[in-house]
Structure 1
């Protein structure tokens, strides 16, 4: 009998505080026969070093640990501009497995492969990767997206002679369960995206599904016992590395990367009188962003949660680093076309106390609570809403600038099916930067 050991982790999101501990764990436990996998969302533009290097810092860190293979998550796939992702892995010393993202013309991207076969202990191990299919967003960035089950069926046909099949998935736990139900020939699904902490994994339809939380707190370990060419036992566990002594060489590398990022983002874009911030009261910087967002989207009005602005700006110079700090979210502008009745419902819902005090995790939001809505272009008196002095007509049509996170379903499900346009790859802080620069130049000229 032989044992195949693999380590996996997922959803680091450029939270590098545990990375040196993860490296320390690998240095102690890894052998030449061990498989190591990253399951996507390693990179997140909320971190200045990821932002300023266009994700190259993440690839440099991955190169140092030599993963067997990686796949991408939605943060690499739909928050990176097309050219960033197209060149993200130019210097990668590891394979990227991804079967369901293509160039817009249908060609497979040069930086990814659909499948990979590796050999350990005389066993042929087939690997493939799939990521969450954001069907409305990938085309906006010049990519084509395919249903994961179609890509999986094709990959399994290619890997049909392998002894072991492992899926690298950034689909989320519940989608992984559906994948296991449809394809019992998969031995292990290494998952991500939903940040599940699966201490011993979950077996669905004979398929072991594993996932290791987020931010590098856990390293997942899988052991497959092989007799002949058959897998006779599958075991999964998690190792908490958050209290582990870090690898000092990695600490030094990260310190150098942080310093370089700070220097590159220390660029003054304007001088301003300062803008105060408040999540539950008047917000000068919120009003500025809401006004700029309406202009950016060519909308009649805008609705944004004040919690997207983590703090205000003091009087004086404004740098790119400041804007990144106060608005770190990988959130895109969105233009909704709503009838008046839906608009009124939207306005009422975002002002409910339960909504404004909601603590949100995911959807691109990197703040704490949503906060009170910042409304631009709309007047509210005596429970009635008006635009340009005219009360909203329930059967009218209105162009509303907002944030993409409101349209994804979990927060306001009825907005998911409304006509919309996402502005990509621009993020909210790009809108804020352009608005500040425009206003600054207008003041100087005036």
Structure 2
């Protein structure tokens, strides 16, 4: 029997305090398989990067590439955190030093020209002249990729092309998927030639795997909680065993710990870049008006050139001290990978949105996902050129100045354009995104103008 062991990780989201334990487990499982005489392939399914972590922010993801190199990964695909939280130039340079393959079939630089750093699929030769074909796919967030200058395509169409070219030349076919469980199930149903789908994006833990027709699906949670291990009989093209290993945080890898210290030191100079000089502290409250939240709302409106801006206090995790403000300060208080967006909304819907967003259930809502890395949404502030409102009394006064039939441009954090929170916004047809800047970049721009580093000279 020709046996192959596949080890895989997904959705680390730069939870780098767990990475040493993850790598210790990978090394242990790889050594055990190799002792049995098995070939081993090691894959990552994307969202290894997350700019919520200062190391990833400071090195724009290149530190994550260094960590993957050290573990001798065979291949990765990208997730949305690599794909749409980096500028096009940053993604183009993310893997410059990569010592592994980047498999990505549904992303193009332009007009069907693939990025130079990626290949759609690859055939890996293993023991006894067996061949394993592997394709990589990422979730196609069309509007965001287009805004960044990429062309992302339908993953199912790319699979059809892939299978037409390689199906009869290989012994086993694997899909590295950052598409989410729903699309993974659809692929399994439509393409039985693919025997194994290693999944990500939706953070499911499929303890024993999931079999759909002739295809096995596996996914291992989020944040380095689990590592997947699969044993394949290549003689018969069958999955022999699927294991989902819980990561033991008490079992660490010293080599990885040393590398993390090195990479964190490399990130520090970027984070120490000076932005502004505040004459006094700027406090934040999640539940009432505070200076920094008001400043952030005004910054969002001005950046987007909108009539009004909508900004949640919970987007700012804390205030800023007096004195020199650095990029590190701004990353600490606003770590979310959230971009500015602009929509067009009728006046009557705008008034409804003002009231709805400041109901107690929304103010205290503990949002998970959509890029939000805070605790609660907090109070929502609406900033126009002549007023800022949050309380019911303020909204009532502002409503008198709003023409219910007029169309207003409204600047919002992008999460409100695609989350379930405010259908009034989600269902709008006219939306535009301001990328690659995040909300913290917009706040930095505003503070640097208002509180220049040269103001005391």
TM (normalized to structure 2)?
Answer: 0.92
Following superposition, the deviation at residue 234 of structure 1 comes to 4.4
Give the Cα separation in 1 of the matches to 2:58 and 2:354.
36
Following superposition, the deviation at residue 382 of structure 1 comes to 5.0
Following superposition, the deviation at residue 44 of structure 1 comes to 1.1
| 1:123-175 superposed Cα distances (whole Å, 9 cap, x missing partner) | 21110011000011001001001011111111122220211110000001111
Q: Give the aligned partner of residue 241 of structure 2.
A: 235
Q: Give the aligned partner of residue 423 of structure 1.
A: 434
| 1:284-341 superposed Cα distances (whole Å, 9 cap, x missing partner) | 1110100011000111111111111010011222111101111111100001111123
Structure 1 residue 337 corresponds to structure 2 residue 347: no
Give the Cα separation in 2 of the matches to 1:400 and 1:442.
31
Following superposition, the deviation at residue 385 of structure 1 comes to 4.7
Structure 1 residue 373 corresponds to structure 2 residue 383: no
Whether contact under 8 Å (1:222, 1:236) holds in the other structure is yes
Gaps (5+ residues) in structure 2?
none
Give the Cα separation in 2 of the matches to 1:128 and 1:440.
50
Give the Cα separation in 2 of the matches to 1:371 and 1:252.
39
| 1:245-284 superposed Cα distances (whole Å, 9 cap, x missing partner) | 2111110111122233234312222211221111111221
Assess, with a 3 A threshold, how the Cα gap between structure 1 residues 57 and 381 changes in structure 2: closer, same or farther: closer
Q: Give the aligned partner of residue 357 of structure 1.
A: 364
Give the Cα separation in 2 of the matches to 1:17 and 1:109.
32
Q: Give the aligned partner of residue 4 of structure 1.
A: 4
Q: Give the aligned partner of residue 212 of structure 1.
A: 220
Give the Cα separation in 1 of the matches to 2:77 and 2:352.
40
Q: Give the aligned partner of residue 23 of structure 1.
A: 23
Q: Give the aligned partner of residue 402 of structure 2.
A: 392
Structure 1 residue 327 corresponds to structure 2 residue 334: yes
For the aligned residues, what is the CA RMSD?
2.0
| 1:175-231 superposed Cα distances (whole Å, 9 cap, x missing partner) | 1111211212110110000111111111123211110111112101112234x3x22
Q: For 1:32-431, list aligned pairs within 5 A.
A: 33-122=39-128, 123-161=130-168, 162-226=170-234, 228=235, 230-272=236-278, 273-377=280-384, 379=389, 385=396, 391-418=401-428, 419-431=430-442
Following superposition, the deviation at residue 390 of structure 1 comes to 5.0
Give the Cα separation in 1 of the matches to 2:396 and 2:409.
15
Give the Cα separation in 2 of the matches to 1:299 and 1:390.
19
Q: Paired residues, what number?
A: 443
Whether contact under 8 Å (1:218, 1:242) holds in the other structure is no
Assess, with a 3 A threshold, how the Cα gap between structure 1 residues 52 and 442 changes in structure 2: closer, same or farther: closer
TM (normalized to structure 1)?
Answer: 0.95
| 1:69-107 superposed Cα distances (whole Å, 9 cap, x missing partner) | 100000000000000001111111110000111013330
Q: Is the partner of 1:222 in helix, strand or coil?
A: strand
Assess, with a 3 A threshold, how the Cα gap between structure 1 residues 2 and 381 changes in structure 2: closer, same or farther: closer
Following superposition, the deviation at residue 442 of structure 1 comes to 10
Give the Cα separation in 1 of the matches to 2:214 and 2:97.
38
Q: Is the partner of 1:254 in helix, strand or coil?
A: helix
Assess, with a 3 A threshold, how the Cα gap between structure 1 residues 233 and 46 changes in structure 2: closer, same or farther: closer
Q: Which range is displaced more, 143-152 or 1-10?
A: 1-10
Give the Cα separation in 2 of the matches to 1:339 and 1:5.
57
Following superposition, the deviation at residue 29 of structure 1 comes to 2.0
Assess, with a 3 A threshold, how the Cα gap between structure 1 residues 183 and 237 changes in structure 2: closer, same or farther: same
Q: Is the partner of 1:62 in helix, strand or coil?
A: helix
Q: Which range is displaced more, 124-133 or 365-374?
A: 365-374
Following superposition, the deviation at residue 26 of structure 1 comes to 2.1
Give the Cα separation in 2 of the matches to 1:97 and 1:244.
33
Assess, with a 3 A threshold, how the Cα gap between structure 1 residues 22 and 108 changes in structure 2: closer, same or farther: same
Q: Is the partner of 2:200 in helix, strand or coil?
A: coil
Give the Cα separation in 2 of the matches to 1:144 and 1:232.
36
Q: Is the partner of 1:355 in helix, strand or coil?
A: helix
Runs of 4+ in 1 over 4 A off after TM superposition: 378-387
Q: Is the partner of 1:149 in helix, strand or coil?
A: helix
